[in-house]
Amino acid sequence: MYLDTSVLIKLLVSEPDSGLFQEMLRGSLLSTSELAMTEVWSALLTKERNRQITARNRAAAWRVFIDRIQTKEIEMHPLGRVTLKKANGILEICHPKVPLRTLDAIHLAACDLSQDFPLCTTDARMHEAARVLRIPVIPEK
């Protein structure tokens, strides 16, 4: 199962639907793109800046994330030229129907290349793009 950053964050810090995702993903093989290394860090810093978490919470969440990568609980797919080329193709396929953002296209490309279906995301644009691309996606919207 491929996780985008919105879902990864729910597994690292408490959000209203964190429990639902923790239960839904328990025991599943999880993967994401190396892009998540920067996106997760950015999201944690944003949560700290907005006083949703403390610096200590941020550091603890980051350690858990790195631990899950090192123990292969989360597999990291490489972010390289092939993925970026695939993302460009996805942007074109979705244009103009889905106003897909760059980083979302990269996640969709990594998911499609890895075939780690379904894609697990809470992002409405990614849901719409996944439907266009015929990529299985959860949770259903």
Region 11-18: what's the mean pLDDT? 96
Please report which confidence band the pLDDT of residue 140 belongs to, taking 50, 70 and 90 as the band edges. Answer: confident
Amino acid letter at 3? L
The domain segmentation of the chain, as residue ranges, is: 2-138
Q: What is the mean pLDDT of the chain?
A: 97
**pTM to 2 decimals?**
0.94
**Among the listed residues 100, 78, 79, the one whose alpha carbon sits nearest the alpha carbon of residue 89:** 100
Q: How many residues does the chain have?
A: 141
Q: Which long-range contacts (CB under 8 A, 24 or more apart) does 12-18 make?
A: 12/40, 12/44, 12/61, 12/62, 12/64, 12/65, 13/44, 13/47, 13/52, 13/53, 13/57, 13/61, 17/122
Q: pLDDT (tens digit, 9 = 90+) per residue, 54-79? A: 999 999 999 999 999 999 999 999 99
CATH 3.40.50.1010 fits 2-138, yes or no: yes
**Quick check: 141 pLDDT over 80?**
no
Q: pLDDT (tens digit, 9 = 90+) per residue, 79-91? A: 999 999 999 999 9
Q: Are strands 137-138 and 74-77 parallel, antiparallel or unpaired?
A: unpaired
* More reliable by pLDDT, 140 or 106: 106
Share of the chain above pLDDT 70, in %: 100
